Chain A
Amino acid sequence: DVKVTQSSRYLVKRTGEKVFLECVQDMDHENMFWYRQDPGLGLRLIYFSYDVKMKEKGDIPEGYSVSREKKERFSLILESASTNQTSMYLCASSIGKNTEAFFGQGTRLTVV
């Protein structure tokens, strides 16, 4: 079974803090993605990566950055957390041009 593991299920951070959300997948997938999920807004793509050290902006990249130093790990960074970044963050991975994406359990981040 493919496993996508996010380091924390729940996180509470203060405004202005630098926040790291970690995601690891164990199936050698080339592609990794970060989404945020808000009630009534579905899933929105923040950043994605098709290869190590490669990154591309998604639909809502403002206030975020990412890092992919190893194939299995994709980190989402909030440089200076703000209250409007309180959300559920979902990491996903996929292989090649396969039609199925695999999601982690999500990190519910609260910024106070």
Chain B
Amino acid sequence: GQSLEQPSEVTAVEGAIVQINCTYQTSGFYGLSWYQQHDGGAPTFLSYNGLDGLEETGRFSSFLSRSDSYGYLLLQELQMKDSASYFCAAPHNTNAGKSTFGDGTTLTVKP
């Protein structure tokens, strides 16, 4: 089976940098995805790490260390619109839709 752990809540101020961690235990591991979900909205894909290291997409970066069973999502230059829930997810195989999700981290960005 698979399980992913992430903090339930994180608070930061506008303009700051925040890191959301995700540790996992899996019987088979293909990579780590991150999704963003605004209140009342659909989860939307942010990034995927299939290999160790850092992936950068604009203000967002994601990191994976397979040896540590650990990854994180880094959000820079925080904006109010970044207030949302963030989920890490581990695909069961190379098919993205069949994934085990963490419970989600609610990020609150304050002025």
Contact = CB atoms under 8 A, between A and B. Distances in A.
Interface of A: 4, 31-33, 35, 40-45, 48, 50, 58-59, 90, 92-94, 96-106
Contacts of B99: 45, 101
Nearest to B89: A43
Contacts, number: 66
B50 A99 contact: yes
B104 A42 contact: yes
Contact of B42 (A41, A48, A96, A105): A105
A31 B95 contact: yes
B-side interface size class: 20 to 34
B96 A101 contact: yes
Interface in B27-56: 31, 33, 35, 41-45, 48, 50
Interface string B63-97: 00000000000000000000000010101001111
B103 A42 contact: yes
A81 B14 CA distance: 44
Given A33-B98, A40-B8, A43-B101, A99 B48 contact: yes
